[in-house]
Structure formats: C-alpha cells, structure tokens
Structure 1
Amino acid sequence: MRDGLVVSPDGTKIHFAVEGRGRPLVIVPGVLAPLELYRPLVRVLADRYQVALVERRGYGRSEVGPAPVTFDRQAEDLVAVLGELDEPATVFGHSFGGLVTLAAARAAGERIAETVLYEPPMATLGAVLEPMLAGCRKAVAEDRPEDAVRLALKLSGSPEHRDEGLAGATIAKLTRLAPGLIADLESATALKVPAEYWAGARVPVTLLEGGRTAPEYARSVAGLRAVYPEARHEVLPGEVHIPREIERLADFFA
C-alpha cells in the first residue's frame, strides 16, 4: 500500500494508505478498530477501486491533535483526505466512522459520490459514555492501557459479541490504539444531538447491520432509517458489530 498524508485545518497530521486503481473509495474505521481488520476488504475492493484506508486521529501514525478532540475535527480530517482525491469518492464508514462519514457528507457533499455505513452508533452517544471516558482516561494515565481497552470493548455489545470480530487481535495488540480510543470517546461524549442532526447528506446512503448485533446498534440503524427513509438497508445474517468476515461488505458497493 502507498502512504498518504494530509494536514487537517487545525494542523493535525492525518495518515492514510492507498491500494488499487479505479474510482476512489475511502474506508473510515470505527472505534478501537485496527487497520488489519479492514485488510481483507481492501484486497477485494482494490481490483476495482483506488482504496484509501484512513488512520483516524490517535490511531497508527496519525496525530491526536489538541485535546479534547471534538467530533467536528474528526469530520474535518475526513474532508481533508477527500480533498486529496481526483474525483468524488464512495465512502465506507464503520461504526463511529459512519457518523464521521455522515458529517463529512454534509460538509463536503460534492466530494462524496455515495456512503455505505455499517452500524453508525447514533444511539450510544453523549452523557452515557462519560463514565467510560473517565475510566479509560484514568487507566491510560496510570499506564494501564489494557484496562482501557477492556472497558471500551463493552461498546461492542453483550459479552458473546465483544471479541469475536477482532480478527484474532489480542488485548495487548490493541493497547497501542489507546490514544485514538480516548480521542473517539472525547468526541462521542460531547455529542448530545437529536437524530435529525445527522440528516442532510445529499448522496445515496446504504445502511448495513449485522443479524446478530447488539440492540443499541440495531436501534441506531433504525433511527438513521427514519432520517433517511430512501436509504438502502441490508442485514448481514450472523454478523455482529465488528464483522468477522468484513470482506462480505464488498457486495454492497456499486
């Protein structure tokens, strides 16, 4: 994969990796999701797309930027990446990355041809996350990033759903993503908005959900279907919030 770099409006350096040729397609990862999770999807899509895999703030080589991180900054990061592409892109947003994608579609719609969103967690934002943010901050400050990761995995639903989609990644491997985890929780905790906040993307929207996902993610998709009644909606039998076979999602891109 080829490396790319943009500087977001606040001066934060955001890295992304590019593979393949064709129309641009951007992948926006979810919370605590290692880039390795998306490699099988990239390999399938690279035959027909130029795929850009974004390392969001605090993940991989991307800087965290000024603290606390805000959702608006996250959306600006994606708009900056889109500005590096030669033509409007298909954008796939997974989990929190799906919300970032919707915000970017409102801010820079002409740079986005369509969005494909897998379980954007609209129903799990705001004050409900404040205890988790406080616990994760404390664990990281005390040099216990593995405890922050364990706490955050609760975002993925009931116990039988938490780990099975992480493609074999161990807690130890995920601890390097702790800075991005804190950035995401800061951004998500500050979002106290109604469902209508996410409206306004004037591009085709596809909403995907797993057939075995946790109730809060099913509620989130239902809420977005109400906001976008014309959106395509598909359920992937047997899948959970962190898909075990993420390459299956390639079937839903034009």
Structure 2
Amino acid sequence: MERTIQKSVPVSGGSWVNVDVYGNPDLPGLLILPGVMSDAQSWSSVARSVKAWPSVSVVNRRGRRPSGPLTADYSIGVEVDDLLRVLGTIPEPVSIFGWSYGGLIALLAADEHPVEHLIAYEPVIPPFARHALSDLKDAAAQSNRGRSVEIVNVDISGFSAEHVDVLRADKGQWKALCELAEPLHAELSALDASHPPDVLAGKVERVDLIIGQHNRSIEPYGTSFDRISSRIPTARIHQLDGNGHLAHIEAPLQLGRVIDATAASV
C-alpha cells in the first residue's frame, strides 16, 4: 500500500510527533513504533509490504525530523504518553508493532491502553547498552554524532569497525545516521532509567514476539529478548530466519510477511 497522509500530533512540552499513514486512514490498522537510530522513513518499505491490515501508521518519534524535539523532561514515560496520544487519533481496534526500544515503549503503553494485539521485534530492556552510556554522554557533550554512530554499531550492536567504515563510505547514509544519533544518549539513558514491571502486557489479549535468527540467545539483542519474553509467559515466539536486528532495512518484505502472519489468529 502507498502512503496516503502525514499528520502531526501535539505532545507534551510543546513538541509534536509526525505519523505517516499508509492505506485507508479511516479504517483500523497496524501502528509501527520504531526504536533508536530509526525513523518513519526507514520503516516505509515494511509499511508498504504489510497486507493484513487496511491501514498502517508509522510513528516518527520525537527527536527525529520532521517531528519535534525530545524536550528537557524526556523519559520513557514521555514516550509512552506520546504513543497514547497517537493511539487516540487512530480508529480502533489497533494492533501495535514495536521494534527494539519501540517494543518496550509499546509494552509499557499497553498497561495503560487496552490493546487486543501487540507485536514486538527484539524489544530491549535494562541493562541493555548500560556499559556504553558514559562514552555516549561524552560524544553527545562534544556534539560528535559520528562517534555516537560508531559506539552504537560497535560497542552496543557488536558490528565490526570495518562495518562502520562501509557505512561511512556512503556519505548520504552516514549523514542520515549521524542525524538519527543526535538523541541517542538521551534515549538509551531513558531506557536504562526505566523500571519495567515483572509482568508485561498483562492486559493484552495477544502478544507476538519476533526475534531474528542471528540473534537467538546472543548478546545484546537475544539476551534482552529472553528477559522480555520471560515476563510475558503467554507470548507466541516467532523467528525471522536469516536475519538480525536490522531486518526492516535488510529484509523488509520478509519482515512484512511475518508481521502479516501474526494477524491470522487474532
């Protein structure tokens, strides 16, 4: 399906959140909530590939253009409130899909807003990335976004320095990554300061958790996934074969098919 509208939703602190809507905006659908180092544009291919819902709304979380700034009171609670405000603008019932940090935000929001179906791809939970916060703080203080990109790829995600060199060689891609890295320290600090309950998504009728095959039981995403799944004993677990954390970029059509498959038994 193609994007039909882009709307702006006012949120706290004078900020705002833009939402890209694909398909029929007047019908219930799927809401996609990206995580860090990601924006609505990077999820456009997945949104276009989803067929099981008549509409797909992709949230461009605060801190990435053209949405508004994080604001001084930023926390994961602010993110939850933003999501609840966006949900108030979308026809019910809504299925929510959260990726990484977005997955945890969606799970926490589901404790405050009734959700029939929640899907999360490799959601993260503390102490994810705690060891890198000091270096990210230094990079942020120096406005060194390139260094932040290096930290998130090498020190957190476990990619090689050569992988970063390949990213840097594409000037357009590197510029985009550096822009996405601007709120990185604040976002991961908010994640680390969060206190998720021992039982997550207790009010959700159906939870589907997806993990990439390459990350199964492997630090940092697989072990974080295991900590999340242990808090949702009723969740159905799905594996995306041949993929890791960046499936929305590397295999968007395959990811779209797996997301569609979760709707079959809703």
TM-score bracket, shorter-length normalisation: 0.7 to 0.9
1:212 alignment partner AA: H
Bigger shift: 195-204 or 27-36? 195-204
1:3 alignment partner in structure 2: 6
Paired AA for residue 4 in structure 1: K
Task: Determine whether 1:95 maps to 2:96.
Answer: no
Match of 1:238 in 2: 242
- Where in structure 1 are there 5+ consecutive unaligned residues? none
Q: Give the alignment's TM-score, normalised by structure 2.
A: 0.82
1:106 aligned counterpart, secondary structure: coil
Q: CA 1:229–1:198 in 2, change beyond 3 Å: closer, same or farther? A: closer
Of the three residues 88, 113, 117, the one matched with 1:114 is 117
Partner of 2:81: 76
Matches of 2:163 and 2:241 in 1, distance apart? 17
Aligned equivalents of 1:34, 1:66: Cα separation in 2: 18
Query: Percent of aligned positions with the same letter in both sequences?
Result: 27
Kindly indicate whether the alpha-carbon contact (under 8 Å) linking 2:20 and 2:40 is maintained by their aligned counterparts in 1. no
Change (3 A) 1:66 1:35: closer
Q: Which runs of 4+ in 1 moved over 6 A?
A: 160-163
Aligned partner of 1:29 in structure 2 is 34
TM alignment of 1:1-254, pairs within 5 A: 1=3, 2-21=5-24, 22-45=27-50, 48-67=53-72, 69-109=74-114, 112-125=115-128, 129=130, 132-153=132-153, 154-159=155-160, 170-191=173-194, 193=195, 196=198, 198-213=200-215, 214-243=218-247, 244-251=250-257, 252-253=259-260, 254=263
- 8 Å CA contact retained: 1:119, 1:209: yes
CA distance in 1, matches of 2:28, 2:161: 38
CA contact (8 A) 1:199 1:228 kept: yes
Deviations 1:157-195 (A, max 9, x none): 3439977xx9x873322111133323312311212x366
Classify 1:200/1:42 alpha carbon distance in 2 versus 1 (closer, same or farther; 3 Å). Answer: same
Cα deviation, residue 91, structure 1: 0.8
Cα pair 2:23 2:55 within 8 Å, conserved: yes
CA distance in 2, matches of 1:73, 1:58: 12
Query: Residue 170 of structure 1 aligns to a residue in which SS?
Result: helix
In structure 2, distance between residues paired with 1:117 and 1:160:
29
Which amino acid is the alignment partner of residue 104 of structure 1? Answer: A
CA distance change for structure 1 residues 18 and 46 in 2, over 3 Å: closer, same or farther? farther
CA shift digits 1:191-226 (9 cap, x unpaired): 2x3661535242310000011024332222222322
Give the CA deviation at 1:138.
2.8
- Give the match's secondary structure for 1:19: strand
Give the C-alpha shift of residue 46 in structure 1. Answer: 6.0
CA spacing shift, 1:162–1:87, aligned 2, 3 Å: farther
**d(CA) in 2 for partners of 1:155, 1:229:** 27
Checking the alignment, whether the CA contact within 8 Å between 2:148 and 2:181 is kept in structure 1 is yes
1-structure distance, mates of 2:109, 2:227: 19
Cα distance in 1 between the residues matched to 2:8 and 2:221? 32
Q: Identify which range, 70-79 or 150-159, moves more after superposition.
A: 150-159
Residue type at the aligned position of 2:105: V
Bigger drift between 181-190 and 96-105 goes to: 181-190
Q: 1:33 to 1:162 in 2, by over 3 A?
A: farther
Deviation at 1:235, TM superposition (A): 0.9
| Equivalent position amino acid for 1:250 in 2 | G
